[in-house]
Amino acid sequence: MADPWRLTARTAKAALDRGELTATELVESCLARITAEDGELRAFITLCGERALREARASDQQRASGAAPRPLEGLPFAVKDVTATAGVRTTYGSRVHIDHVPVADELCIARLRKAGAILVGKPNTPEFGFGPHSTNALCGPTLNPYDRWLSSGGSSGGSAVAVASGMVPLAQGTDFGGSVRTPASFCGTVGLRQTPGLIPAPDKPLAWNALVTHGVLARSIDDAALMLSAMIGFEARDPLSHRLDGSKLVPLGNVTIIPRLAFSADLGVAPISKAVRTEFGQ
């Protein structure tokens, strides 16, 4: 199959399940795409390519044995570099944590890996996730994949660029005041800030904090639902956790959606790009 990195998550999963594609081929394709594009885009702070290939080969062996594939079996994904990943450097975009390697995954990451997803690397973020642009002393600025003169947004800009440019089909982000939604809109991906507690976060410092949430970045709504389905589920250690079964999330299939757009020429504070205004006939 030519250029597997171009596939959406659901399309790749279907090809994997049919035996038309191997997890190793898919991960190799994503790593090659990263090699080709990330020197300029600077989406990743840390890669774990060798580990990802080992896990991909193990996934292929499991399929070959006749074992039923897990929901995200063999799908590459990336994790914003403010979220703990066991055995993979997590810097929070700061020199203070340049050598920090967590011993355990954040719960939602552990769930993705349990579902068969394969971690490829840690996308860029402003230091400690605070800032509208994805740049810090370690990496960046992360450039917009459609126009290198424009921002990728923040603070999950690295995750949005990794998905938009084909480096991975799925990426995790976090959202406080738009940190998933803003880069998703800048980079043309689906960005979902979930209802607090839908993706439990038992390790957050303040148990009742509903302001910061985990989020999903993907190339389609169906892909976002697929990723989200593996991350949600009740967790007693999070008092905000919802009792919702991820299997209840189903693909849209042939459902017709009529998109609606809201437009402002100045956002109430300053004029937006002339090119954007022109597209809307302003």
Domain with 239 in it: 4-257
Query: Which strands sit side by side in the sheet containing 44-47, from one edge to the other?
Result: 44-47, 118-123, 76-79, 170-175, 213-218, 190-193
Residue 266 lies in a domain: no
Give me the percent of the chain exceeding a pLDDT of 70. Answer: 97
User: What are the start-end ranges of the H helices in 115-258?
Assistant: 157-164, 181-187, 221-231
CATH number at residue 67: 3.90.1300.10
Q: Is the pLDDT of residue 36 over 90?
A: yes
Residue 275 lies in a domain: no
Instruction: Give the mean model confidence (pLDDT) for residues 19-32.
Output: 98
> Which pLDDT score is estimated for 244?
83
> Which pLDDT score is estimated for 110?
98
What is the residue-averaged pLDDT of the chain? Answer: 94
Q: What are the pLDDT digits (tens) for 205-246?
A: 999 999 999 999 999 999 999 999 999 999 999 999 998 877
Q: Is the pLDDT of residue 250 over 70?
A: no
**Between 244 and 159, the higher pLDDT residue:** 159
Per the structure, how many domains does the chain have?
A: 1
> Which pLDDT score is estimated for 251?
65
Q: What are the pLDDT digits (tens) for 88-99?
A: 999 999 999 999
Q: Is the pLDDT of residue 260 over 90?
A: no
In the block, tokens 């994790």 appear at 79
Residue type, 6: R
Residue 276 lies in a domain: no
88 and 113 Cβ atoms separated by less than 8 Å: no
Residue 238 lies in a domain: yes
Residue 268 lies in a domain: no
Q: Is the pLDDT of residue 140 over 90?
A: yes
- The residues that are catalytic are 80, 155, 179
Report CA-CA distances (Å) from 263 to 54, 270, 277, 278, 281. Answer: 47, 14, 9, 12, 11
Residue 273 lies in a domain: no
Q: Is the pLDDT of residue 127 over 70?
A: yes
Q: Is the pLDDT of residue 254 over 70?
A: no
> Which pLDDT score is estimated for 253?
62
Residue 86 lies in a domain: yes
Q: Is the pLDDT of residue 272 over 90?
A: no
Q: Is the pLDDT of residue 72 over 80?
A: yes
**Between 7 and 244, the higher pLDDT residue:** 7
Residue type, 249: L
Residue 10 lies in a domain: yes
